[in-house]
Amino acid sequence: MATPAPLSLPPFDWDIFCCVVDNFGDIGVTWRLARQLEREGCGKVRLWVDDLASFARICSGLDPALDGQWVESIYVQRWQGAIAPDTVPARVVIEAFACELPAPFVQAMAEQSPPPCWINLEYLSAEAWVEDCHGLASPQRVGNTSLNKYFFFPGFTGKTGGLLCEQGLIAARELWQQDEAGLNAYWAGLGLPPKADDELRISLFTYESAALQSLVASWCQSVTPVTLLLPLGRSLQDVLTGAGLEDAIATAQAGNLLQAGNLCIKLLPMTDQAGYDRLLWSCDLNLVRGEDSFVRAQWAARPFLWHIYPQDDEAHIAKLDDFLDHYLAALPADAAQWLRAFNHALNQGEDVRELWAQWPQYATCWQQHARDWSQKLLADGDLVTRLVKFLESRI
C-alpha cells in the first residue's frame, strides 16, 4: 500500500525518470526495473513519473492524487512542474527511453562531487548497430562542467544490456506451470472450468490489426475448442468483429463471457504485472505487443506472436525481422519460414487463416523452442546484473 511521504527523504542510490507513453509500456519497464533494483538489494530507488493515473492501472498500491509516496519500498515522485530546489540526485540517474531530464536536476547533478553516473536506458532492439553503441559515453556540457551520459541498450546478445528478469522468476514460472491444481484454481478465479485436453487457451494483448479479424474467425470455426483471454483494450473491436459479435462491442465489460462457434472469449480487466505474468504462464499461445509484454512472453516459455509498435515509415517491420533473425535461428527452416510469415501478417494486417491452419503442424516444435529460447536469453545474465557490472567501474 502507498504511504504518505515523510518530511525528509533518505539519500537515494537510484533516480529513474519515466514519461508515460502509450499508457503502459514505458512505465511497465521502469516499474519492473525499480522493483528489481530494490528487491535485490541494489539500494534505495526514487521513481519519477509524469502520469500517475496511467501508472495506477498497473500498480494497485499507488494513489495518483499524491505527489510523493512510498510504494513497495520505492519512492514514487510525481514529475510535473518545477523540481524542488533542495532535491539531491542519486548516485545513479536513469533517463528511461530518452525522456529529457529537468534542467535544474541536471544542474544539481553537475554540482555533485563526484557527479552521479548518468544512464540513458534505451528501448529494446535486436538491430545489429545496438551492440556497437551499447555502453558508449555521450559528453553533456552543463555550464562549465561536462557530464558523461552512457547509452545502455537492452538486447538479445551478450554484447548488449540483456533483458529484465527478476531473480526467482523462472523458478516461480516452473512451479506454476507444473501445478495442475493451482492452474485449475486460477481458471476458476477467472470464472472458467479447468482446461480440457483438446482445448487451446490463448491470451491476446495487441494493438489494432485487421489480421485479428481473420484469426478470430478461424478460431470460431476451429475443430479444436479455443478460449481467448482478452484484457479490455485496443484490440477489442477487431476481435469481436472477427467473431461476428459487433453488437457486443458497445457494452463489453470485464467479466463478460462470449461464445461464437467453437470460440469462447473471456474479457478481463487490466491486471497488475504479477497477474499478467500468471496469465502468460497459463496459456498455450500469447499474442503480445510493444516491449514489456513482449519480454514477459519470452520468460513465459510459451509460443507467442509479437505485434511491434507500428511506425508510419514501416521501420518497425525491419526491427521485427531483426528480432526474428535471432529468435528463429535454431528452428527448422520450414517452421521458421511459417513463423516469420505469421508475425509479418499480424503486423501488416493480412489474412492469417491459412497460416493458423498450420498451427497443429508446428505447435510442438514451437513449444519446445520457446523453452529453449527462454534459457538461452539468460546465458550472459539479466539486465540488472549487467547494469550493476557496468556501473562498478563508473561510480
Q: Which residues pair with 47 in a beta bridge?
A: 16, 76
Type of residue numbered 74: I
Alpha-carbon distance 269 to 253, whole Å?
8
Q: What angle do CA 334, 196, 201 make, to 5 degrees?
A: 50
Task: Dihedral sign for Cα 277, 283, 284, 286, please.
Answer: negative
Q: How far is CA 353 from the centre of its chain?
A: 28
Is the separation of the CB atoms in 235 and 212 below 8 Å? yes
Residue 26 is among the residues annotated as catalytic for this protein: yes
Helix (H) / strand (E) element for 140: namely strand 137-142
* CA-based nearest residue to 197, from 185, 180, 179, 217: 180
Q: Which of 51, 95, 122, 291 is catalytic?
A: 291
Residue 292 is among the residues annotated as catalytic for this protein: no
In the chain, the N- to C-terminal Cα span, in Å, equals 33
* CA-based nearest residue to 151, from 388, 395, 387: 387
Q: What angle do CA 68, 163, 277 make, to 5 degrees?
A: 70
User: For the chain, how many helices (H) and strands (E)?
Assistant: 15, 15
Q: Which of 26, 122, 292, 382 is catalytic?
A: 26
Largest CA distance in the chain: 71
Q: In what order do the strands lie in the sheet with 68-71?
A: 3-4, 68-71, 74-78, 45-49, 14-18, 92-96, 117-121, 145-152, 137-142
* Phi/psi at 149 (5° precision): -110, 125
Catalytic positions are: 26, 291
